[in-house]
Amino acid sequence: MATDTQALTDLMVFRKTNAHVGRQISITPANSTNRHLSYGRIILNDAVKSVAFQTANRETGLIVLSGSATVKVEGQDIELTRYDSIYIPRDCAVHLSSNGGVDIAEFSSDVTGRYPLQVVRYAAVAKDPTLKFTAGTPSQQRCVNILLGKNVEAGRLVAGFTVSEPGNWTSWPPHEHAEMLEEMYVYFDMPAPNFGIQFVYQNTDYPELITAVRDGDAVLMPAGYHPNVSVPGHRITFLWAMAAHREKDDRQFGVVNVQPGFGAQGSGLEASRK
């Protein structure tokens, strides 16, 4: 039993995915529980100032976590700064460069359709109350930022980030959406000694996962409820990315099943559905 549990954990938890320079893909369907979603990090500095890659049969979303970069794609030079994002279609050649350094999260998913190149400025997201909003009551309050959601035409990808208040729970009340979407969290901007606790379970008596999470760690949610909590005095900050099982049809944010007994005040994500 312990061996089976550890084997599952090895497919769901990936540590220190930001411990490199250049471009590194840490998670794919080949080494994880994911069916569609892949994740990597592109970190450029004085040692490595540029990278190039092909999207092949995968739509790709890039989210700038710090610094700035120039993305060359489909004949355009696009400047991105912190929390800007870009949706890149399948079958594209991509070149990224940075003079001052940049940290970028890369999410991708296989698709059959080809959707248009789209740039999402965080300044525009911040002005839209259906894309950036505060969710939850005092002990579970957090700020949700949807970067690649209904504002972007895509096949499977949905992505954004959440910032909690210190010591608070997030993804609360516990919810799940496994029939429509697989999901993963990537924790960032959580300098030591900060950490949080992540749960993934279908039955609270026998949780599939309870683990400490720190800056650079990633946790996958193949099924089940997935709340987390930050330690007192510190925030938990994480990227979340989802891939729809049915291309286009299941690509919906905020359609969730709340754990029975916890849904009296709704899911907390209602603002996104307006």
CA distance 206 to 8: 14
Is residue 1 over pLDDT 60? no
Give the closest residue to 26 by CA, choosing from 192, 189, 247, 184: 184
Is residue 273 over pLDDT 80? no
- pTM, entire model: 0.95
Is residue 37 over pLDDT 80? yes
Q: What is the pLDDT of residue 3?
A: 54
CA distance 88 to 110: 12
Is residue 241 over pLDDT 70? yes
- How sure is the predictor about 9, in pLDDT bands with cuts at 50, 70 and 90? confident
pLDDT in tens, 105-130: 999 999 999 999 999 999 999 999 99
**Mean of per-residue pLDDT scores for the chain:** 94
- Say whether domain 2-252 belongs to CATH 2.60.120.10: yes
CA distance 146 to 242: 11
Strand order across the beta sheet in which 50-54 lies: 50-54, 93-97, 69-73, 76-80
Encoded tokens for 272: 């996104």
